Each structure stands twice: as structure tokens, then as C-alpha cells.
Structure 1
Amino acid sequence: MALSWDDLAGLALARQFPSAALDVPSAVAAIGAMQTQTARSAFLGLASRFPGTTRDEVTAAYETGAIVRGSTIRGTVHTTTPRSFADLGSATAVGQRTLWDRMLRLERSSVDDLWSATEAYASTWRTTDELQDHLQRWLVEHEGADEVTGRLGQAGRYLAFGHGGLVRRPVNGDWAGQGAPEYAHLPGVGTIEAAIELHLRCHGPASRHDLAWWSGMGLRVVDEVLAAIDTRVGLMTADGPDDRTYVDLPDAAAPRAIDGVRLLPEFDALMCAYDPAGRLRFAEAAHLVRLWSGANGLVLPPLLVDGRITGYWRAAGSSRRRPLEVTWFARTRRPRKDELDEPVAALEAGLGITVSSVTITRELV
């Protein structure tokens, strides 16, 4: 069997946009980890998929620990369930190990020793500065003072908390804002097999390149994990439109068409769950280049029209009342003004704002 880009899109959309109404923890479990280094992305991602989800509901799920946020796969911030966080942490430990080894060049100890010490220190909430001080003290104690010089710099702030074992919360209590975080260890044992199965369940079908890009693990490791999963559950395989082989779980949901307009968050899974070449299932190549800036790594919030990413949007400012600017790419279907009523209502509920005006603009790409 061969799959087209439209086939791949329909199968993935069925998982990313469940038809059932779900509470916030169940919704996050259903759609998988959300990339949320932009804090509002979790609120927007849930509101766009489950209209009516409110800012207070998402905040409450964070506050109770029903969902958690932390630096995991690829060193990026993700929001997920505690169970999946442990699995993502196991993939992070594999995918980020080479970077840590290269940056720290430990001679008398190992990064595993450092990670264990960091988690013990973060048995209570710690600020970024406290974790960085702990890292430097640990290196002095275990590697010698002379070995620390020139080894940290700005990277030390990331190395102090980015190994995948610490969750974070905003010091000021605003989960939708970009305030300073503090960190604590979340105990749990995960597996890289479960991490790869999570991707297939929530984003599949996927190529080995998709799985490697998303997880941050190398292709060889991904191949080994897929072989183990195949032995256990029997993976489905199919040829894709790009001469790559796509794999999926045997009980995958049937394809689903998504009609109408959705306002997705920056770093949405329709962009970030796939290898760059695999994102063609949702958007044209030229549009992807416009949405994702190679200079600073930022992603414009995508506009989804009938299951295709065909533009972007902005709700600029920090006040409770904000104008909404929707931009659609030329030679795609123009979203109608009345089609924006529901996504605007979802946006308002998810962020707790009021949209003061809506403009629609075409952009040549």
C-alpha cells in the first residue's frame, strides 16, 4: 500500500483533532506532548482542538499536576501528562547525551552522576540561578576547579535543568505568561519505546526520520526501537510520497477531514512533530519556509483551513483586548469572516482575552 500526502494528513488529523469532548488532562493524553517554550501554546493548542477549553481549566490542570511542563526532547519545553513526561525524559537522556558529553568533557564522573545529583538537589523547587550554582559546585567538587573554567558560560543555564528530569512552573503563577520559572524533579521511570509509541499514537503514520527529528534520538536508535515495537505489537508499514517508509500502530484511527478554520499555536505539533521534509502533509514547501524562521527558530502561529496550513495569525499586545490579524497565502482558499467566529471564540476562552477586531489579509509567497 502507498500513502499520499493527503492520506498522511488525514490519518494524523484524526489523532490531533479527536471528535470527543475531553477534559484538559484527557485531551493532553490524547493529542500527545505539546511544544510550549512559548507558554501560551498549550492554552492555544487545546482551545483550537477542543473549543470551549478555558484559560482557567488549563491553569488548574497545571496547578494540580495533572499536566506538567519541562525541558525534554530536543532540549525544548513540552507540556504533557506526568506519565508521558517520564517517557520523554528517557528519550531526552539518549538524544541529548552526546551534547552534554561534548560540552562538559567529564573525566572523573559521568553525566548520569550529574543528572542524579541535580534531581536530588531539586527535590524541592529551585530557581534557574540556584540550579546553575549547583552545577558549578558539582563540577568543582567532582572535576576540579581548573576544569570548570570556560566550560559553562550561557550554556550552563540550560545544562542546569535541561536533561529531561525536571518540571517547571512560573514563579509568578501565570502559566500562560513568559515569566521566570523554577524547577523540581518529577520522579518516574520511562522508556524510549513508550516515547516512540506515544508519537505514533498521536501523530502517526511516521517515517523513521520523523521519529528521529521529534525525539532527538539518532536514526540507528529509532530503528532499534521500532524493531522492538514491531516484534511486540506488529507495526503497519506503507510507502510514502517521498520514497520513505511510514510506520503506524495496528489499531490506528481512520482518517478524518477537518473542515473550517482553526487558529493554531506557534510550534504546533502539525509543524513540530515531523521532520522538515515530512511537513508537506500539511503545507506547501514555500509556506513552511515563510512560517518557520531559520534565523531565530521562531514559528508564526499557523492558520489551518480545511486541514491545510495556509497562513498565519497574530493577536498582538498584552492587554485583555487585542486585535486579531489573519493572513492567508495567495493561491490558497481565503478564510471567510464568518468562519472565524468559532476560532475567535476559542481563542478568547483559551487565553482569557477579548478580540477587539478582525482583519484578513492576503500575502504573496
Structure 2
Amino acid sequence: MPVPLTPRVLGRLRLANQGLLGGGFPTVPGAVRWMTAMQAQDLGAALWAVGQRVPGTAASDVRAALDAGTVVRSWPMRGTLHLLAPEDLRWILGITSGRLMNMVAGRHRELAITPDDIAHCRDIAFKTAEALKAEGRPGASREQLFQAFEEAGQLTKAQRGIHLLGSLCQRAWLVQGPTAVNKGKVGVQQLFVPFDEWIPESRDLSREEGIAELLVRYVRSRGPATIKDFSWWSQIPLKEARAALDAVRDGLVELQFGGSSYWLTPESAAMLDDGVPGSRSLLALPGFDEYLLGYQDRSLVLAPGYSELVVPGKNGVFKRIIVSGGEVIGTWARTVSGKTAGVAAKPFAGPLGPGTERSFQAQGRAYLKFMAA
């Protein structure tokens, strides 16, 4: 007998499709490739987002993937850093970067950034990277590139430098490579390297093919989801998103719920017949996790009345979330008392029950162990 549709059931389908129930994914690159793009402007949060989907790993394993180039971090959409498979970055940029460049064109005029300035900075960046490579150094830090820009007459103050650097990455001339090491410690910054050196092989898809593939992969990893969710996440205009849906809808399943059409794969829809797992699952997810962030409408898993507790003041900064059976029931934080680290739950509606608290603390211990290794 089919499972009745409820917000929690749809939320658990999303958990399953994102690899957050059961065995997850066997490797870090495999998880990132399945998710297509995982928001990662907060690198620490992104490490744990991957860790929650790849059991038995540590933060050092995700950093190692970045250092090896089997996972890359760049700005493929919405002007925000994401983790991606290296072979996917160029074709996704080919779809998304034009719109982003149009959005920042006014700011570039204010900063007196011209196409010639961007090309000039490309040449400077390549020369800087080549000089560092000759010294046996794997890439250039942002500070090194800014210094080189300044020495060549390209000002970097008032955000001009970061806009120039972002433009080079949007055009697939530079990409973030290995993590930087400062005084023997790994930091949160990455070094910049020439794109073609770090990613020698890229897939080549036309815009139409790319949008269709991006949609299928989005639905596969995040369904049930609406076409508006996809359009917001990818920043692909709704008209093109709907055209892509028309091209691939025969391979997808449509669910009607709450007056909206939700799309998912046949494999995912089959769980509605066999029983959707995770009714007693409890997860401590990072801030900015795709489980919540990856949708325009988050009300399916987060009651609107609690949304400001997750994103205070709608400032775009997402707190860590507790997800119980497909529903966001609270936020959580890392705590420090003397030399002892722990976690503390901040549930929305009263204290957690004893069993839920035990499950949350187990998640907290897993998080602390993951980040420490």
C-alpha cells in the first residue's frame, strides 16, 4: 500500500536521495559528484556536509580530495562557493557565469573594472603561478595575487581585488586548488592555480544539454523538488528550466502535493511503495547544508515560523540544524568548556526527549571526531 504523502515523508525522501540515510556514499569524490554542487563558502561546514554523506571519513579526507584535485571548490552558481567534481566545473560555468557577470556588471563599472583589466589580471596571475611553480610552490594565495595585481597597477581595495579574482574564476582561467598551509597548520584558504593545469580534462556540453543534465542530477539528488526550486538553485531562468523539464519528464515521476508539482526519479518514487526509511533518524547537519539550503521553498521541512531561528534576520547565514525524521526541529552549536569541546541543542519547541537527546549527542561526538582528524 503506498505511503500517504506528508511533509515528513517528502523530507525523508530528500534525506535518502542526498545520501543521509543508510550507507551514504563510499568515497568523498563520489558523494560530491552525486550531489553535483554542494554549497561551501564555509569550508568547515562543507567538510562536515560531505562527512555526513560518507561514513567513516574525517575532515582530513575531504581536504585530501581538495589537495588531490578529485574535488574542486569554485563559484559555479549564485556567486557562492560550492564543491564540485572537477570535470563538471567548466560546463556548469558555461551555463551560469554569463548571468552572474551580467548581475555584477554595474558593480564592475563602479569599481572601474573593464574587460581589458580582467585580461591583464589573467596574465599577471599566470605569470605569478609560473614563478611560484618554479620555486616548487603549488599555487598562489589570494594575498600573493593581490600584491602582484597592485604592483602591475591593478588596484585591489574596496572589493576590486576580489571581483577581479572572481572574474578570472568565472571565466575558467583560475580555480582554487590545494589548501594553504601556514606554519605547519592547514587553514581554511586554498591556493589559486591555472584552471587548465588543475583540471586538464573537462566535459563538453551544449547549453541545452547541460541544463537538461543539471536538472536530472538535481532531481536525482534532491527530489522531491519543484522546477522553481531547481531554477532558484541553479539560477537558470525558469523558461529554460521548464524547457529542460519538457525534454526529460518521461524519465521522471511527478507528485502532486500541496498544490505544487514535485519531481523525483522512479527509483526514489519506488520508496513510496516499499516504505520510506528514516522515520526515527536524527541528524546534526552543518549550516548551509544542501538538505535545507538547496531549495527555494524550504517550508516542506522547516516550518515558516521557525525559519528566522535558522537564518536570523534573513542575513543569509544558516545555523547548524537538527533534522528528526525529515523535519528540522532545531539548531545546534559547538561548545567549549575549558579544554573540553561538546555540542548543545537548541530545539524549537521545548527540550529534546531523552532518546532524541542521546541520538543528538552521538551525532555531536561523531562531528567532533570528524573535525579533529
1:192 aligns with 2:211: yes
Task: Measure, in 2, the Cα distance between the counterparts of 1:320 and 1:68.
Answer: 34
Determine if the alignment matches structure 1 residue 72 to structure 2 residue 72: no
Matched, 1:215 2:219: no
Worse-matched range after superposition: 45-54 or 329-338: 329-338
2:196 aligned with 1:167 = no
Structure 1 residue 266 and structure 2 residue 287: aligned?
Answer: yes
For residue 358 of structure 1, what is the aligned residue in structure 2? Answer: none
Aligned to 2:47, which of 28, 43, 57?
43
Q: Which residue of 1 aligns with 2:343?
A: 324
Query: Could you say if the C-alpha distance between residues 345 and 322 of structure 1 is closer, same or farther in structure 2, counting changes exceeding 3 Å?
Result: closer
Contact 2:16 2:277 in 1 (8 A): yes
Q: Is structure 2 residue 158 aligned with structure 1 residue 153?
A: yes
- The alpha carbon displacement at 1:318 in A equals 12
Alignment RMSD (CA, Å): 3.9
Once the two structures are superposed, the pairs formed by residues 105-144 of structure 1 within 5 Å of their partners are 118=122, 121-122=125-126, 124=129, 125-129=139-143
CA distance in 2, matches of 1:66, 1:119: 26
The alpha carbon displacement at 1:262 in A equals: 1.2
Q: Is the 8 A contact 1:235 1:250 kept in 2?
A: yes
Q: Deviations over 1:306-332 (max 9, x none)?
A: 221111111146998423111111168
- When normalised by structure 1's length, the TM-score is 0.76
Are residue 62 (structure 1) and residue 66 (structure 2) matched?
yes
Q: Please, which of 272, 277, 282 is the counterpart of residue 257 of structure 1?
A: 277
Deviation at 1:183, TM superposition (A): 4.7
- Rounded to whole Å, the distance in 1 between the matches of 2:116 and 2:251 is 33
Pairing 1:240–2:240 present: no
Quote the offset at 1:305 in angstroms.
Answer: 1.7
Structure 1, gaps ≥5 residues long? 141-147, 354-365
Question: Which deviations, in whole Å up to 9, do the C-alpha atoms of 1:220-268 show, x marking residues without a partner?
Answer: 23223323334xx543333231x33223344446443322321101100
- Unpaired segments of 5 or more residues in structure 2? 130-138, 205-209
Deviates more, 1:285-294 or 1:184-193: 184-193
Instruction: Measure, in 2, the Cα distance between the counterparts of 1:221 and 1:134.
Output: 40
Equivalent residue in structure 2 for 1:310, among 326, 329, 348: 329
| Preserved contact between residue 312 and residue 326 of structure 1 (Cα < 8 Å) | yes
Residues 333-344 of structure 1 mapped to structure 2, 5 A cutoff = 334=353, 336-344=356-364
Shift of residue 3, structure 1, vs aligned partner: 5.6
Per-residue displacement from partner, 1:47-100 (whole Å, max 9, x unpaired)?
333442212222222221121111221011111221333343234314413213
Q: CA deviation at 1:302?
A: 0.5
- Which AA in structure 2 matches 1:226? L
Other structure's SS at 1:96 match: helix
Identity of aligned residues (%): 23
- Residue in 1 aligned with 2:247? 228
Listed as ranges, the matches of 1:89-108 within 5 Å are 89-104=93-108
SS at the partner of 1:238? strand
Instruction: Decide which of 317, 322, 340 is 1:298's aligned counterpart.
Output: 317
Correspondent of 1:30 among 14, 34, 54: 34
Q: Normalising to structure 2: TM-score of the pair?
A: 0.75
Question: Secondary structure of the residue that 1:70 maps to in structure 2?
Answer: strand
Give the direction of change, closer, same or farther, for the CA distance of 1:323–1:13 in structure 2 (3 Å limit): closer
Change over 3 Å in CA distance of 1:245–1:131 after alignment to 2: farther
Distance 1:115 1:64 in 2: 28
3-state SS of paired residue (1:281): coil
Q: Which amino acid aligns with 2:23?
A: A
* Mapped partners of 1:176, 1:236: distance in 2: 45
CA displacement at 1:105 relative to structure 2? 5.5
The range that moved more, 175-184 or 344-353, is 175-184
Letter in 2 for 1:9: G
The residue matched to 2:342 in structure 1 has which SS?
strand
The number of residues matched between the two structures is 337
Q: Following TM superposition, by how much is the alpha carbon of 1:218 offset from its aligned partner in structure 2, in angstroms?
A: 2.2
Tell me: CA distance 1:331–1:316, structure 2 relative to 1, closer, same or farther (3 Å). Answer: closer
The amino acid across from 2:322 in the alignment is L
CA distance in 2, matches of 1:78, 1:303: 22
In structure 1, C-alpha distance between the alignment counterparts of 2:160 and 2:215, rounded to whole Å: 28
Q: Distance in 2 between matches of 1:137 and 1:206?
A: 49
